[in-house]
Chains A and B, each alone.
Chain A
Amino acid sequence: MIETSAELTKKLSNAVEKMPAFPKSVQRILELTRDINCQPKELVMVIEKDPVMTMKLLRLLNSAYYSFPKEITSVNQSVVYLGLNTVKNMALSFAAMGSLPQQNAAGFDVQQYLLHSLTTASIARILCQKFSKDDTDPADCYLAGLLHDFGKVVFAQFMPAEFREALALSKEQCIPLYLAEQQMIGTDHTVVGGMLVERWQFPKRLTNNISNHHNVTDADSTVLNCLFAANQISKQLSLGYAGDSIVEDFPPALLEFFGGSLQDVIVRLGDISQLSSEAQVFAQVGKGS
């Protein structure tokens, strides 16, 4: 297995601290917090659509400092444990860092990335509701979907030259982006994403899902199964683009779990046009930032 050096781990972890959030959420947080009577649930809706804000919030909540009786995996939980105003002020402090520029030196489109993350998250949640055979919380599937490719946006921000080469290699040779990243960067987004959430003491089940979302084996979890499938569906239907258009086939374990192929699951998923258009509005696809 590929590992990152302690030095790189520290460098990227510190860098994420200064990483701005996505344009639409920054704009909405600034709007909402100007109104003293803003609806708390609207704030939650904005934060839980932004991978950077969600990551930063959950990072703090899962730090050893608060020692909550259980792991925190949703923005709703953070509101109950930390208090609405604290969450609001944290969102405001994230918003005050500005927003992620749409253009970066890696040539990685962050709005398309956000659209892919949001649709993967929402589809993973629906898959869990429809196919889960245990008591897995659909919110865990949403969170895993939202954050599964976080390593890519970190590469785009902090290792743009190497990531640019990986994106080009993946395209030229038609290989999955994570393999191209391994060649060009020496590690890949699953390792970096998993490493960050592990360092920040996110629940183990989330860490494993992010680390293994391109490596599904027989004995995997409902979250990972739903995440893997949702990721492929989002790519297959071109609901956003995170630098990788190669759709991976279901391994036997997933064929069994879903009782059919990727195409069968897409059919059983039903109409997702609303999910898709909501995500597009939030990701501001097509608009400049």
Chain B
Amino acid sequence: MKLKFWGVRGSIPSPGEKTMRYGGNTTCLEVRSDDNDLIILDGGTGIFPLAQSLLKELPVKAHIFNSHSHWDHIQGLPFFIPIFIPGNTIKLYSAFDPISGEGPERIISVQLQYSFFPVREAEMKSQIDYVALMPNVQIEVGSAKITPILLNHPVINLGYRIDCNNKSIFFTGDHEPHYNIYEDGDSGYAEVQGLIEEQRRSIVKAMRGVDILVADSSYTLEEYPSKKGWGHGTFDSSIQLAVDAGVKILYCTHHEPTRSDDELEKVFAAALARHAGKVGDLDIRLAREGAEIIF
């Protein structure tokens, strides 16, 4: 399998000299199965450079798995050039949104309103299919098996586990570890705490033993209290998840948009130091735009 990062920034594209090394594009990952099936995880702005790289292998058959519908995970989709080219097949997979009652088609239709984008959906000449996924129900893409897992974010967010010939990746999309809305002593505390622990166990189980975990690690421990409920994890929560799930390599991603490369390396080093000697064989890395790993 192959994994390549095309966008690792959270929230908003952050180009500039301070983010040159890790990159400013928002979330997009390219995964290739052993048979070269093209699986794209999220369509943040990183999908635009990915799209250009695909023009040399037309016709394209792309399976785009959207974790959730926030802008930084969908904004590049209208610029995914293969979508305009006849003969290409694009399948967009996402959760069903309980508020609107719609599935992945809405991710495209909302963006392609004429006032906001000059091309209408009808003008996209590729074959576009929409697939609403059910949590925990595995689907197959060529030789890869993909399992959506419901995680915790302000909107429905699916993490994806991809298995192919005994190799595996888990991508969280955006995820904040569940927390209790009650204070210790409130009547609902114990019930919710029990559910939270059960959810965490099921999430760890879903990630169990993957070769690579790509996890939302937006904040530092110091930043987190003022961002609680925003739906993002910390370096420390990701490291803990990776340790608990027996992951081989953890990529910390969704870099905070105001964080410069130097600061990113600094807070990352501090997180590593906090966990020194407690992570076993876990290899912890910062996700970097352009980085590629074949495993």
Binding site for B on A (CB under 8 A): 39-41, 44, 60, 64-69, 74, 76-77, 79-86, 89-90, 93, 139
Contact = CB atoms under 8 A, between A and B. Distances in A.
A84 to B, nearest CB: 7
Contact of A80 (B99, B134, B195, B229): B195
Nearest to A87: B98
Interface in B226-249: 229, 231
A93 B188 CA distance: 25
B150 interface: yes
A152 B133 CA distance: 36
Nearest to A64: B134
B191 A74 contact: yes
B103 to A, nearest CB: 10
Contacts of A44: 181, 188
Interface in B142-177: 150, 152-157
B188 A76 contact: yes
Contacts of B199: 80-81
A245 B180 CA distance: 41
A192 to B, nearest CB: 24
Interface of B: 96, 98-99, 134-137, 150, 152-157, 178, 181-182, 186, 188, 191-192, 195-196, 199, 202, 229, 231
A86 B153 CA distance: 9
A83 B188 contact: no
B79 to A, nearest CB: 28
A274 B122 CA distance: 61
Nearest to B178: A80
B192 to A, nearest CB: 5
A204 B155 CA distance: 29
Contacts of A64: 134
B178 A69 contact: no
11 contacts: A44-B181, A65-B96, A65-B134, A76-B192, A81-B195, A83-B153, A83-B154, A83-B157, A85-B229, A86-B154, A93-B99
A67 B135 CA distance: 7
B195 A76 contact: yes
A67 B154 contact: no
A86 B178 contact: no
B98 A90 contact: yes
Contacts of B99: 86, 89-90, 93
Given A84-B229, A86-B155, A90-B99, A41 B188 contact: yes
Contact of B150 (A39, A66, A93): A66
Given A44-B188, A93-B99, A80 B202 contact: no
B182 A41 contact: yes
A123 to B, nearest CB: 16
Contacts of B186: 41
Nearest to A60: B98
B154 A85 contact: yes
Contacts of A65: 96, 134
Contacts of A74: 191
A41 B188 CA distance: 9
The 6 closest A-B CB pairs, nearest first, are A85-B154, A40-B181, A80-B195, A89-B99, A41-B181, A76-B192
A66 B150 CA distance: 9
B154 to A, nearest CB: 4
Contacts of B231: 83, 85
Nearest to B157: A83
Given A65-B96, A67-B136, A80 B192 contact: yes
Contacts of B135: 66-68
Contacts of A40: 181
B202 to A, nearest CB: 7
A76 B195 CA distance: 9
Nearest to B98: A60
B134 A66 contact: yes
A83 to B, nearest CB: 6
Contacts of B192: 76, 79-80
Contact of B134 (A67, A84, A89, A90): A67
Contacts of A67: 134-137
A165 to B, nearest CB: 36
Nearest to A92: B99
A237 B199 CA distance: 42
A86 B99 CA distance: 7
